[in-house]
Structure 1
Amino acid sequence: MNNKKNSFRTPILWCLLFFSLYGLNDGNAQLNQNQLKFKNPIGNGADPWVIKHNGYYYVCQSNGDINSKGISVSKSNKLSQLGKPVTVWNTPAAGWNSSQVWAPELHYFNKKWYIYYAAGKAGPPYIHQRSGVLESVTDDPQGEYVDKGILNTGVDAGNETGMIWAIDVNVGHIAGKLYAVWSGWEQNATTDKTSQHLYIAEMSNPWTISSARVKISSPDQPWETGGPLDLNEGPQFLMRNDQVFIIYSTRESWTPEYRLAQLKLKDPSKSPLDAANWEKRGPVFQGTAKVLGTGHASFTQSPDGKEWWVFYHTKKSSTPGWARDLRLQKFTWRTDGNPDFGIPIPAGVSLPVPSGE
């Protein structure tokens, strides 16, 4: 009788031991996951671009300061931690794009990677900036790229490039068609103290702008003016639930007044090439006494797809200049479908890591 009792108890004891070891550890793992934190800034630099692909986050940046001559791509399975940058392209020794590489962006179409960037033959003054595109040789975003040439951002037959000054090209699909949006001048000038506007055009493929440009925004609101130079730049498509937004930067990137604003496509069933189909509001994200010059953002989702995050830069001091760092912040959506970026959180504050990380 006692032997039967013991044989009955033994499996129960093993089950209790199993759940105490593995079940409890799993609970602790979940608890630790919920307690994971990160702090801003997560790196140095400006104009951060991030894209999520097959479980990894790829960040594309120019190598160095405003006078950069190369482009790098980093890879990480965590949004809150940057990977090691790998240089994927250096400027040629001469030509329109031999210097001043600004704000590169990495995009994926038809099993190829494309990098959109601005560059110039010299500067300062920064009057030579034009935009071009690189295409990957393979499916590896950190691999080799070939130069597909300059983009048609406005024709100027009197200029050696044949194009009008343009930076910050961003691309996206709207109703099955590919569009480019960028910051440009109305016409080429001999001074970089020239106002910048936002333009949009249709593309026939990832390296060819096929329609005339259409101006969809100028710095014409009180919160876009009042500094040393009125500008609109850094436009980024942000799309959700069939709604199309362009989040852009306004005021001056070298001052604490840099901020984000928004264009919304009023009727997505109608052409985005109709300037009247865009409505403006702002600022939608701006600095505080502790966070200066919030701007030039990109957007992605958490590893599990449950959260939206804005990746942006801020100034390191109130002194005019381009010393900046990189920051992440979760944002939400309003009931009317508009993004709600909230207020920028100061550096050094512990924040929960993105969901699923």
Structure 2
Amino acid sequence: MLRHFPGAALALSAWVLPVPGVAAAHTGPTFANPLFAGGDPWITQVSGVYYYSASQCGVAAICIRHSRSLSGLARAPWIGVWNPPDRGAPNARDIWAPELHHINGRWYIYYAADDGDNDHHRLYVLEAARPEGPYAEADTGLPHGHLAESSRHWGIDPDVFTAADGRLYLTWSCTDHHDSRFPQRICLARMRDPLHVTGATVALSTPRRPWETRGKPIQEGPVGYTRAGHTYITYSAGASWIPNDYAVGLLALTPGASPLDASAWHKSGPIFDHHGTVYGPGSVVFVPSPDGRQWWNVYHAIERLDCKPAYVCRDIRMQPMHFDDLGAPVLGVPYKAGMALPLPSGDLRQAHGS
């Protein structure tokens, strides 16, 4: 689930602490997490610019901020890009997890929304010619840019990605019901184009392992990607409203198999979990450094156990990561707040870009 809040600027410092995946002898400027307050981060990089999308940012229902440096996102102003048409619309309330995607020269924002009743959460998409908009409810053939899939069930956290077969897919958090009854699972469907789903919805995974059922049986926030010819989906598991329940899992597709074959996906995890005073890490998204020499994991976490509901205390963080030879993410453990980390490679040079 998504909750976003405006936040404070990134802290810079001048002392150094060795970090796995980053040169231990680094003597340049550093930063410290958290970057700013918020949850469920989403970042896409297009033509050297990082675009971060969010809801509930204080200036519009859906907003973006952009920068030529990863660290610069913490200082970039929010730009309001869309507000719902009216309070009675089915997509007017509880706007969660907006993801900004650039596909075939057009810009799309995929999100979940309802009419004020969580049982009515469904998937929607906006479209624009430019990242800053103006955005309109996309012409999906249904009112308000509703993104229909075959089950017509409850759904949140839509993500689109290209699998190793070169085709576009939609993945999201789903149930077996028209309402929000548990468990929440990971679903997948083929897309004919960025605005239309084709074929049947397939449930890929159900939360059954102990770390996926902390608080409630939930899998949400899926993000698909392809690397080294392999297709993966990361996801978050556990109850978002309990501080220490959230963790990250991974689904890996057997090479050569159809993404629509649920039996060809293999679960592992947690691949990222609580550590020390960092609780409930989740909603990971992987982005390259400005010069392309490194990969960074951007995620949310919580520093307190007394926050109820937990998601109102989330903040956004980033740290270096890498992929193994098969393209699977190696994330390590979340670093504690205040720990000095070298800026992403090439980030200092871009620090004043926007």
1:227-266 deviation digits (Å, cap 9, x = unpaired): 3311100000132111111010001112212010000011
> Given the alignment of the two structures, is residue 292 of structure 1 paired with residue 283 of structure 2, yes or no?
no
Residue of structure 1 in register with 2:69 after alignment? 78
Q: Show structure 1 runs of 4+ deviating over 6 A.
A: none
- Contact kept? 1:253, 1:295, Cα under 8 Å: no
- Distance in 2 of aligned mates of 1:150 and 1:78: 34
Residue of structure 2 in register with 1:341 after alignment? 331
2:159 to 170, 183, 188: 170
- Distance in 2 of aligned mates of 1:91 and 1:316: 33
Query: What is the one-letter code of the residue matched to 1:217?
Result: S
Q: Secondary structure at the residue paired with 1:127?
A: helix
Query: What is the one-letter code of the residue matched to 1:331?
Result: M
Q: For this pair of structures, how many residues does the alignment match?
A: 308
2:36 to 40, 43, 65: 43
TM score, norm. by length of structure 2: 0.83
Query: What is the one-letter code of the residue matched to 2:196?
Result: T
- Contact kept? 1:262, 1:280, Cα under 8 Å: yes
- Contact kept? 1:297, 1:313, Cα under 8 Å: yes
Residue of structure 1 in register with 2:178 after alignment? 188
Q: Which has the higher contact order (CA 8 A, sep 6+)?
A: 2
Residue of structure 2 in register with 1:153 after alignment? 149
Any residues of structure 2 matched to 1:1-357 within 5 Å, and which? 35-64=28-57, 70-82=61-73, 83-93=76-86, 94-123=88-117, 126-136=118-128, 138=129, 140-148=130-138, 149-155=145-151, 163-174=152-163, 175-189=165-179, 192-225=180-213, 227-255=214-242, 256-267=244-255, 269-318=256-305, 319-321=307-309, 322-323=311-312, 324-357=314-347
1:37-71 deviation digits (Å, cap 9, x = unpaired): 11111111111000111111100001249xx9710
- Following superposition, the deviation at residue 34 of structure 1 comes to 5.1
Question: CA 1:337/1:172 → structure 2, altered by over 3 Å: closer, same or farther?
Answer: closer
- Contact kept? 2:162, 2:226, Cα under 8 Å: no
1:331-353 deviation digits (Å, cap 9, x = unpaired): 01234542210010001111011
- Following superposition, the deviation at residue 270 of structure 1 comes to 2.2
Could you say what the CA RMSD is over the residues aligned between the two structures, in angstroms? 1.7
Of Structure 1 and Structure 2, the greater helix share is in 1
- Contact kept? 1:250, 1:261, Cα under 8 Å: yes
- Distance in 1 of aligned mates of 2:277 and 2:71: 21
- Contact kept? 1:198, 1:216, Cα under 8 Å: yes
TM score, norm. by length of structure 1: 0.83
- Distance in 2 of aligned mates of 1:204 and 1:81: 36
Q: Secondary structure at the residue paired with 1:81?
A: helix
Residue of structure 2 in register with 1:3 after alignment? none
- Distance in 1 of aligned mates of 2:50 and 2:172: 24
- Contact kept? 1:314, 1:325, Cα under 8 Å: yes
Q: Secondary structure at the residue paired with 1:211?
A: strand
- Distance in 2 of aligned mates of 1:194 and 1:92: 30
Question: CA 1:336/1:172 → structure 2, altered by over 3 Å: closer, same or farther?
Answer: closer
Compare 326-335 and 175-184 and name the one that shifted more: 326-335
Identity of matched residues, %: 37
